[in-house]
Amino acid sequence: MLNKDYFKPVTINSHNKLFSNRSDSLLHFTNIYTDEDKFPSLQNIKVAIIGVEEHRASLNNDGVKSAADNIRDYFYELKEFNVPVQLADLGNLISGNTTDDTYFALADVCTSLIKDNIIPIVIGGSQDVTFGQYKAFENLKQIINLVSVDSRFDLGEPEEPLHANSFLGKIILQQPNYLFNFSNVGYQTYFVGSSAIELM
């Protein structure tokens, strides 16, 4: 069962509230956890949005803490889908005392959602939170494919701590490993060494 104590409500800005009266906006079709609205019921929900503010392992990306709310500003302006999909915005995941606590919480949330056949969409956070998402599939013992859109492979060195530029290396070295396939879209050869290309 999903632990709603992991989350804090989001604030929908006044710009987005203009769209709430339009019957075709996603804001109108999404159950959103706000100060005014209680935590959404997950009954009949197919897709759940999880905002992440975790930024402590981000390198040179100071704005990532507010990324989830910035994404929402534009997302809720979009129009409804041709195929009806029940959406819920669970709010922002409360960052733990350590980054490991945040990864654990994200893994726990994603595990619960996937067990209930709900697709989690994680917005915001630094790239290292991908590790928390991966751990959800590890909890379920489910083989996965991972796609990254990045100019480089974030392998890091084995002795480096987990951060935004080493998360992929930590996933690859995780045992037992549930990563079946990895694809990196858009890598730039001048940012990626030949040994990393051979490894991938």
pLDDT of residue 16: 57
Domain 4-142 -> CATH class: alpha beta
What pLDDT does 14 receive? 56
CB contact set of 118 (below 8 Å; sequence gap of 6+): 42, 45, 46, 47, 48
What is the distance between the alpha carbons of residues 153 and 172, in angstroms, rounded to a whole number? 12
CA atoms within 13 A on the CB side of 94: 9
Tell me, what's the pLDDT at 19?
54
Q: Where in the chain is the domain with CATH 3.40.800.10?
A: 4-142
Mean pLDDT by 10 residues, the chain (200 residues): 92 62 78 91 96 88 86 86 86 96 98 98 94 97 94 86 90 93 86 72
Whole-model pTM above 0.85? yes
